[in-house]
Structure 1
Amino acid sequence: MSGRPEILFPLFADIKKLEGVGPKTAQNLEQIDVRKPRDLLFLLPYSCIDRAVRLSVSEAELPGVVTVQVLVGTHRPPRNRGGAYRISVQDTSTSFQVVFFHARGDYLKKILPEGSRRVVSGKAELFDGVAQMVHPEYVVAPDEADEIPEVEPVYPLTHGVTQKTMVKAVRSVLERTPDLAEWIDRSQMQQAKWPAWREAMEMVHFPQSVPEVSPNSPARERLAYDEFLAHQITLALARSQLQRAKGIVSEHTGVLQAKVRDALPFAPTNAQEKAIAAIAGDMVLPTRMNRLLQGDVGSGKTLVAIMALLGAVEAGGQGVMMAPTEILARQHLEGLQPLAESAGVVLEILSGRDKGKVRRAKLEALARGEIHILVGTHAVFQDDVNFADLRLAIIDEQHRFGVRQRLELGKKGEGADVLVMTATPIPRSLALAQYGDMDVSILDEKPPGRQPITTALVSTARMAEVVGHLRKAVAEGKQAYWVCPLVEESERVDYTAADARFKALRAELGEGVVGLVHGQMPPDEKDAAMAAFQAGQTQVLVATTVIEVGVNVPNATIMVIERAEVFGLAQLHQLRGRVGRGTEASTCLLMYQAPLNESGEKRLKVLRESEDGFVIAETDLQMRGAGDLIGTAQSGLPRFRVADVETQASLMAVAQSDARKLLHDDPTLQSARGKAARVLLWLMEQDQAIRLISVG
């Protein structure tokens, strides 16, 4: 696997060798990410122009492009400089005008001599009932009419690059494009009626009919599948790398888990039981676990996590639980502590705050195996942190972690099993793109005793009413969150909005009732404000979205979100999940500023009607697209040039099972199809995968 296969050299050669591409054009093409011939192949036309010859302009839908044979009539030069030069022409059933601006008369008489027949092709529109064609793109003699493509592709362009340049350059790439051995499973090809790779490239770049340009044409679908397949082979290689990594067999005895079960107020849900069993099954295997636990807000991930951690302890080892922030790590500590106590195991937290003696004492206890379960931030990855026998690492809120980090993580505990938890319900298509290397468990039922949340939409015009409602609730001893929007993503402005609301509510509800948390506060003030609210010393917490992830105050039953229309759906769903954690019925008020635009209204209604994070995530994906949903920069999502993750999710699923099967049957890609798949990885520039094969 040492270097790029020779058959692909022409596609990775100097782009300036292509017809019509000089140094200037090459520079301009870089603006649209085209740096080598291969990139041009994957820059597909986004539509096409139908230039089939018609009998008459009167048959065409105007305004539109028409190609028609005409008899050239009189030339009428412009009366003043820069005016329109008009030529009357006649087709089989009607006469119309061909119009030019700033053109030389002698040149026009040469290409459109009076009394001759010509085929003209260009955009025609009606003016005062007469058709006009301004600056036709083609003017040819009838015997040269086959120079005009019947279907002309339209490419995305950039400054200084014309359609004609693109067509020429692409034709020049296709001439050097080799036939490649087939990497798609034969039965899949037959069933889907897909063309071979090179043929598919020719069909999409030089379509014979308009439907060939549509995203679900067989040729396009095949090229989309190639991208998905290369991506899924990469993930499957990463997965087999993790699985080949020797794991440690951790046999659960169930002794400690039984103590926790006895202490629970009610039985785990079916989904929890299934996840607990799947994890135990993985941990017993000699290979490493690499599982994603996906659960909506309040679906009970903590219980599944403690059961897995206790399994590691039962087997004589240790477990670690990592969260992205200090606040979340403390919260996990609070959630896990009572359960760990009922099982009689030692649970500790290690954070950036631990300094000097305290830190040293914890590290020594950890290395001696006296701490069974450690909770912490990424600080647990530092060099001086050593476990006596680490069996399980749980990572929370993983979408900030890519495949690469998952591979890194494994190096800390040689052979430790890995469980990733996310509270962000991810639509299936994205889960496949992002976590295709993992096995997935989904918690899709709410634990018993969880109260439904009533969600209502209220216009900001009714602010006084909302504050009155809040005053009454506070008098009854209830607690509430009041979330202010981040204005224009600027921390300073965000602070002023929250500060103003804090002062207004304090004036209405009284001193000492209202607390404030925002991004600009020093960490200890933030923690103090959170702690006061958690302890019930303040009853209303005004906050920016810092509380989005994971804060747990069971007594809080009201969530007011101001300017809800500026938040994303997933974010609103996460915020709403901060209430409804106790035994009381809860309310979430989405305050919006009228008038709402259509998408704002649609988002808020979806929330009002559904508490299912997966339904909400699917809607969010349809409305915003994959990049926005998880922030393209940190999403770890590949950039596909042909494929569309949203509309072609089912293709992605086929690619995943195909990639896993291919690697299961041929782990080192040595078979004929395996070798073809290697060429595909090089073609798609999946260098990470290529390194994994060579390592493997």
Structure 2
Amino acid sequence: MMQLYRVSKSSRPVEKLKGVGPKLNEKLNELELTDSDTILFHLPSGYENLAVMNLNDAKHNDKVTVSGRVRTEPTISFFRRGKSRLTVFVEIDGLNIKVIFFNQPYLKDKLTVGETVNFTGKFDRNRLEINGQRMIFDPSGGYRVKYPLGGVMHSKTFSRIVAQVFEDAEFIYDLPEEYRRKYRLMSIKEALWHLHFPENPHDINEARRTIKFYELFIFQLQLMEKRRRERVRNEQYIIDYDINALKAFIATLPFELTGDQKRSVNEICRDLKQNISMHRLLQGDVGSGKTIVAGLASYAVKTIGEQTALMVPTEVLANQHYQSFLEIFAGELNIEKLTGNTSRKEKDRILIELARGGIDLIIGTHALIEDDVVFKSLSLIITDEQHRFGVNQRRRLNDKALRKNVLYMTATPIPRTLSITTFGDMDISVIRQMPKGRKPVQTYWRRFEETDEVLQQLSEEIKKGHSAYIVAPLIEESETLDLKNVQEIHELFKNRFGEKDVELVHGRMKPDEKAEGMARFESGEKPILVSTTVIEVGINVPSATFMVIFNAERFGLSTLHQLRGRVGRSDKQSYCVLISDPKTENAKLRMDIMTSTTDGFELSERDLDMRGPGDYFGVRQSGLPQFKVADLAEDYRVLEHARQSAIEYAEKLSS
């Protein structure tokens, strides 16, 4: 499988390129441009259209390229610190235009009365003035190409190097002809040429469309190749679970599974029966019931006497899962929990039971990947919020398995575009439906001067025996940011509701202190919890019906939605109040979006639009490439076509 940005037969090192001496070689290496292919794909960051336009068609403040006849002798005035201003009147398209060039006094010798000149500048239509930027001495038109070179070299120098690469390179990799015809695409060589040496806007647009398709097509092929390598067929992978026992257990549940939960269980169980390792993502909004689906998969594995491990990123989340599984599966599964805070005596007992097969389901943090954790027959690995673990951490747990079946879970609704790219090597199950009886969380946006009204509503909820989360963005007061900090808010709520009702939890507390504080809140001893975003995941308190988020504009849509998911976890009506005085349109838009929908998948699409794919997970930890031209937030249709084409192409190669 070819690499994403490899198109020539043998990509030559830059030092072997004609015209590249030691100094240029050093500069190219500084830009991480090491061979001819990396140079070909170091694409322009912008273009300046040097084609002369009619000034009568220009709008106020447009950047223009014009041609005109010099009408007056240029005059130069000097002012502070050697700065200069050259002024000249030029007749352009029937208009007498005052043209000003700052700090370019040498242009005086280039401006002769009666002669025609070409130049670019910013047009002030109201004053009939142009703030000139540069003279054009080659009036042939076309484009001036701008490259992202960080000041290391001039774009003109780099353009010469690119031209030399085109002269020497032998292009052998290209898109299959059938897809070029179907989608009216250029060859890769032609597209790259038009991006580096454009002649008109149409060619630039068509070249960009071609490279977008190419990037997404090759990347999808790479994902499929990765999937093929990782999912080797082997009879050992078959888990021939007792389907009748599983159905009988489901019939005893005190609730009915939603349609999405049933479908997800069926998809996972179908994978377990296959002679190929499972590699599936279970994606569901907060509170959608992923735990029961994961538990039923564990139960299926238990029917053949084998084991499941559930690895989570935090101890808080491990505790929540442990309690949730015990509530449903106690007596049916032998469940244990292993974290960094497990006592030595307790850990030794668990390790013995794990090694002899006495534990059906082990729930733990990174502690599960330690060398002394040995399983008798680990056949299903479930990883929650897998993007919080490194590749090596996940691999170390996989290496302990008898049968390598992996189920990833995430409560972060992922836009379809990112699912296809980031998780394209996995099968995906999605839970959209909420369990019956759940009411959508009513979300409001209030300004700081309305805080008293919010506290009055909170007081009413506390009188009903309900609980409330209060979220602050900072732990301590900031000298540079005007934000409410958690200590300040804690004092506000203690004064209003009394110390006996208010608990404080934040990330800098010792684990034991944090756990004790959470326990007092979860038991109802203290009904108000003031915290930072440590409660974003892993907290399940059904009595909590009210959430207040201070300085809500400081959080992204995904974080706000995760926080909101801590309430609305019972049949009681719940509320989320965003307290914010947004200073920007972007922040105001986030408040409007949050109050308009509780659908995490819709929010994820809007979040992707606002933040871009690189910021959504963090490019490095998600494995998402930084494409040269493709934009996953905008190029969804191109991605769909490229993916389908890649699937067809891969099938033809394997047949």
- Identical pairs, percent: 34
Paired amino acid for 2:51: A
2:284 to 263, 286, 295: 295
Shift of 1:488: 9.2
The structural deviation recorded for 1:533 is 1.2
Unaligned runs of 5+ in 2: none
What residue number does 1:263 align with?
252
Q: Is the alpha carbon distance of 1:484 and 1:114 closer, same or farther for their aligned partners in structure 2, counting shifts above 3 Å?
A: closer
Aligned-pair distance for 1:534?
1.2
Distance in 2 of aligned mates of 1:622 and 1:198: 31
**Aligned partners of 1:487 and 1:494 also within 8 Å:** no
Distance 1:491 1:94, change over 3 A: closer
Please say if 1:193 is aligned against 2:164: no
SS in 2 for 1:589: strand
2:206 paired with 1:218: yes
Q: Match of 1:40, as an amino acid?
A: I
Deviation string, structure 1 residues 5-63 (Cα, Å, up to 9, x no partner): 998476441268465x6655655566655454433322323433333356x76566675
Q: TM-score, normalised by structure 1?
A: 0.84
1:162 has 2:164 as partner: no
8 Å CA contact 1:256–1:310 kept in 2: the answer is no
SS at match of 2:421: helix
Are residues 52 and 389 of structure 1, via their aligned partners in 2, closer, same or farther at CA, if it must alter by over 3 Å?
Answer: same
Aligned equivalent of 1:50? 49
Looking at structure 2, the residues matched to 285 and 528 of structure 1 have their Cα atoms a distance apart, in angstroms, of: 45
Counterpart among 403, 418, 428 of residue 440 in structure 1:
428
Alignment correspondent of 2:121:
123
Please say if 1:622 is aligned against 2:631. no
Deviations 1:224-259 (A, max 9, x none): 222223322222222112211635211221344335
| Contact 2:477–2:483 (CA under 8 A) maintained in structure 1 | no
Name the CA distance, whole Å, in 2 between partners of 1:87 and 1:546. Answer: 64
Matched residues in 1 for 2:579 and 2:245: separation?
46
Residues 365-514 of structure 1 mapped to structure 2, 5 A cutoff = 365-401=353-389, 409-486=397-474, 497-514=485-502
How far off is 1:336 after superposition?
Answer: 0.7
Aligned amino acid, residue 563 of structure 2? L
Distance 2:310 2:182 in 1: 46
Partner of 2:640: 653
1:325 aligns with 314
Question: How far did 1:186 drift?
Answer: 2.9
Task: Give the Å deviation of 1:472.
Answer: 3.0
SS of the counterpart of 1:137? strand
Mark the CA change 1:661 to 1:382 in structure 2 (over 3 Å): closer, same or farther.
Answer: farther
Structure 1 pair 257/39, CA: closer, same or farther in 2 (3 Å)?
same
Q: Deviations over 1:453-485 (max 9, x none)?
A: 211222221222322333332232111111111
Query: Equivalent residues in 2 for 1:102-117 (5 A)?
Result: none
Q: Note closer, same or farther for the CA distance 1:254–1:160 as it changes in structure 2 (3 Å cut).
A: closer
State whether residues 582 and 588 of structure 2, in contact with CA within 8 Å, keep that contact through their aligned partners in structure 1. no
Instruction: Give the equivalent residue in structure 2 for 1:138.
Output: 136
Structure 1 residues 404, 511: CA separation in 2 closer, same or farther (over 3 Å shift)? closer
Q: Which of 620, 630, 633 does residue 643 from structure 1 map onto?
A: 630
Q: Distance in 2 between matches of 1:330 and 1:51?
A: 64
Distance in 2 (CA, whole Å) between partners of 1:475 and 1:99 is 72
Per-residue CA shift, 1:139-187, capped at 9, x if unaligned?
25xxxx5xx34233333342253332233233233222322243x3332
Deviation of residue 530 (structure 1)?
A: 0.8
8 Å CA contact retained: 1:243, 1:289: yes
- CA distance 1:79–1:334, shift in 2 (3 Å): closer
Q: Which moved more, 1:250-259 or 1:296-305?
A: 250-259
Shift in CA distance, 490/43, structure 1 to aligned 2, threshold 3 Å: farther
Question: Could you tell me whether the CA contact under 8 Å between 2:179 and 2:645 is conserved in 1?
Answer: no
Contact 1:98 1:134 in 2 (8 A): yes
Q: Distance in 1 between matches of 2:84 and 2:620?
A: 51
Give distance in 2, aligned partners of 1:441 and 1:451.
23
TM-score (normalised: structure 2): 0.89
1:570 to 546, 551, 558: 558
CA drift of 1:574 comes to 0.8
Partner amino acid, structure 1, of 2:221: I
Residue 587 of structure 2 corresponds to which residue in structure 1? 600
SS at match of 1:392: strand
1:679: which partner in 2? none
Mapped to 2, the partners of 1:298 and 1:623 lie a distance apart of 25
Q: Which of 308, 311, 314 is 2:303 aligned to?
A: 314
After superposition, residues 8-87 of structure 1 pair within 5 angstroms as: 8=8, 11-14=11-14, 17=17, 19=19, 33-53=32-52, 64-68=63-67, 75-76=73-74, 78=76
| CA distance in 1 between partners of 2:126 and 2:442 (Å) | 60
Q: Is the 8 A contact 2:471 2:548 kept in 1?
A: yes
Assess, with a 3 A threshold, how the Cα gap between structure 1 residues 491 and 178 changes in structure 2: closer, same or farther: farther
CA spacing shift, 1:318–1:100, aligned 2, 3 Å:
closer
Q: In the alignment, is the contact (CA less than 8 A) between 1:290 and 1:439 conserved in 2?
A: yes
Q: 1:651 to 1:634 in 2, by over 3 A?
A: same
Counterparts in 2 of 1:589 and 1:129: CA distance versus 1, 3 Å: closer
Match of 1:680 in 2: none
Residues matched between the structures, number? 650
2-structure distance, mates of 1:639, 1:205: 20
